[in-house]
Amino acid sequence: MAVTILLVVLIVGFLAITIFAVTAMIIVRRREQTREKSDEIAKTIEDLDKTLDSALSELNKMGELIRTDIDEKYKAILFLYELIESKQKEIEEQADAETVAHLTEKAKLRLIDFTIADEPKPENTSSPEGSSNTAIPETPPASAEKKRPVFINPKHKQIWEMRETGQNISDIAKELGMGQGEVKLILDLADRAS
C-alpha cells in the first residue's frame, strides 16, 4: 500500500510537473507568437512610414514643380499684359496722330470749299427774298474734268489712287485694313475738294 501511495504520489507529481511544463511551453509559445506578431506589426508600420515618407517627398517635389510652373506662367501673363498695354498705348497714339491728320486734312478741305465759295460768281438778280448772302459753290458741269486733290496723308492718296484704278470701297477697306465708312468718308471729302 505504501508503495501504491508512493506510486500514486509520483504519478500525480509527474502529471503536475508535465502539466506545468506543458502550460509553461504554451505560455512561452504564445509570447513568442505575440512577439512575432508585434515584430510583424512593427515592420509593417516601419514599411508604411517609409512609403508615406517617400510619397510625401514626391508630393513635395510635385508641389515645387507646380509652384515653379505657376510662377513662370504668372511672369508670362504679366509680360503679355505689359505688352498689351504698350500696344494699346501705341495704337492710341497712332489713332490720335491719324485723327489729328484726318482733322487737319478735313479742315484743309473745308478751307478749299470756302476758298471756292469766295470766288466771284455771276450776279443773279432774281434771288428769292430772305436768302443768305453766302455764296454757294456751283456744281461743275459733268463734262468738266475733275482736278486731282492734294493729299497730305499718303494713305488717303493711296485710297484715292485705288479708287481711280476701279476698286470699290469694300475692296479698298479690306486691303488697307480700314473700315468701309472711313474709306467712304475720305473719298467723299476728296471728291468735294476736287
89-144: pLDDT as tens digits:
777 777 666 777 777 776 666 655 555 444 444 454 444 444 444 443 444 444 44
User: Is 185 a member of any domain?
Assistant: yes
User: Is 95 a member of any domain?
Assistant: no
Residue 22 cell numbers, joined: 506543458
CA angle 55, 61, 65 (to 5 degrees): 140
CATH code: domain of residue 179: 1.10.10
User: Is 59 a member of any domain?
Assistant: no
Cα–Cα distance measured from residue 53 to residue 65, given in angstroms and rounded to the nearest whole number: 18
Distances from the Cα of 178 to the Cα of 11, 37, 51, 156, 175, angstroms: 122, 85, 66, 11, 8
The total of structural domains in the chain comes to 1
User: Is 85 a member of any domain?
Assistant: no
105, 152 contact by CB (below 8 A): yes
Q: Is the pTM here over 0.75, yes or no?
A: no
pLDDT tens-digit profile of 28-76? 999 888 888 888 888 998 989 898 888 889 989 998 999 998 988 888 8
Ranges of H-type helices in the chain? 2-118, 154-164, 169-176, 180-193
Residue 19 cell numbers, joined: 502539466
Would you state the pLDDT for residue 110? 62
User: Is 159 a member of any domain?
Assistant: yes
CA angle 186, 141, 105 (to 5 degrees): 20
Task: Put residue 177 in one of left, alpha, beta given phi > 0 → left and psi -120 to 50 → alpha.
Answer: left
User: Is 42 a member of any domain?
Assistant: no
Q: Which domain holds residue 162?
A: 148-194
Q: Could you count the other beta carbons within 10 Å of the beta carbon of residue 83?
A: 10
User: Is 175 a member of any domain?
Assistant: yes
User: Is 31 a member of any domain?
Assistant: no
Nearest alpha carbon to residue 194 among 118, 139, 119: 139
Nearest alpha carbon to residue 124 among 116, 133, 115: 133
